[in-house]
Amino acid sequence: MSIETTATDKPAFASSADLGEKTISFDEIGTGVYAYTAEGDPNTGVVVGDDSVLVFDAQATPAMAQTVIDRVRKVTDKPISHVVLSHYHAVRVLGAPAYGAREMICSDLAREMIVERGEQDKASEIGRFPRLFRGADSIRPGLTWPTTTFSDSMSIWLGKREVRLMKLGRGHTAGDIVAWIPDAQVSFAGDLVEYGATPYCGDAHFTDWPGTLDRLAALGSAAMVPGRGAALTGATMVADGIMGTRAFLSDLYEAVKRSRAAGHSLRETFERAHAALKPAYGGWVIFEHCLPFNVSRAYDEAGGLDHPRIWTDERDRQMWVDLRG
C-alpha cells in the first residue's frame, strides 16, 4: 500500500488520508458460523445458535454495527443475545450498544485496560483512522463497558450450541481472547491473527505473542475469522494466517532488538526496520500506518518496558513527526 502524502510530500498522519470504502463480504464458514470481512478493515464473527445469535467484535460505531446487523437479519431473525469483545480497542468495541444484547463479554484484563486507558485510546484511534469511525456521532457518550468478564475461559450456550471463550495468553494486547465453536471447528482469533494485513503492535507483548499463537494453532481450526483480512477456510489457509502473523512479529522484533542493542535511536531503528520489512510486508494492508506504532512499542519492550505506554492523540502525532518527518 502506498503512503498517502500531503502537499509537502510528507506522509499524511497514520491513515487520516485513507477515505476509500471497502467491499463487505458475509460468508458462512461453518454451519451457522459467519465471517463479516471488508478487504482488510476490522472483521466480525457471528454464530447463530438454537435460540439466539452471538457477535464477536462489535465494529467501531453503532452506525457501522448496523451493517453487521443487516447481514445477520438476512440469515436469521433470532435475537442477538451476546456481544463478545476480543480486546479493548475502540475500533472493536464502540459499536456494541447497537446490538441490544443482554450480555457484553470480555476478559478481566481487557476491562482493566478500558479503565486504565479507554478514553485516551478512543481519541487516539478516531484521530488515526477516521474512516473506520463512520457515523461517529452515533457513539454513545462515555465508554463501552462489559456486563460479564472472566479470567481464563467460559462457555456461552446458545441453546445446545457452545461457544467457548478462552484467554490463551498475551499478544496483540494483554487482554486478548478468542472464541472456539466446537461443533463447527471454527475459531475467531481477533487481532491475534491477521491475513494479508499488517498486525498492529502498539500495545503488544512481542515475547509472549508467539506462544499464544502456538496455543491457538493447537485448537486445529477448520476455519478461522482473523482480525483483518479474508476469512481463513481450510486447515492450510488457517496455518498460513498464523505463520504469516508469526513471521511478521519475529522479523520486526528481531530487527528492533538488534538496532536498539547497537545503540541506535528510535528514529534510526524505525528506518532500519522499515527497510528490512518493506520488501516482504510492504504490500500488506496498513503497513505504513502500523509500522511507526509497532516499532515504538518494540523499542520499549526491547528496553525492558513490559507494560505498554498509553497512546494519546498528542503522543501519536508527536511520534509520527519524530519518525516520519
Amino acid at 259: S
Q: Give the residue carrying C-alpha cell 477515505.
A: 19
Residue type, 266: L
| Cell, residue 66 | 448496523
Cell of 247: 513471521
pLDDT less than 50: residues of the chain: 1-8
> What is the per-residue pLDDT for 3?
39
Instruction: State residue 9's pLDDT score.
Output: 56
What pLDDT, on a 0 to 100 scale, did the predictor assign at position 125? 96
Q: In whole angstroms, how far apart are CA 131 and each of 59, 126, 134, 214, 294?
A: 12, 8, 6, 33, 21
Q: How distant is the alpha carbon of residue 274 from its chain centre? A: 21
Q: For 25-324, give the CATH class.
A: alpha beta
How much is the pLDDT for 6? 39
Are 56 and 179 contacting, i.e. CB atoms less than 8 angstroms apart? yes
- 30 DSSP 8-state letter: E
Q: CA 47 to CA 68: how far, in whole Å?
A: 12
- Residue 147 CB: number of other CB atoms within 10 A? 12
| Long-range pairs, 71-76, Cβ under 8 A, ≥24 | 71/24, 71/26, 71/34, 71/36, 72/34, 72/46, 72/48, 74/26, 75/28, 75/34, 75/48, 76/48
- 22 in Cβ contact with 97 (< 8 Å): no
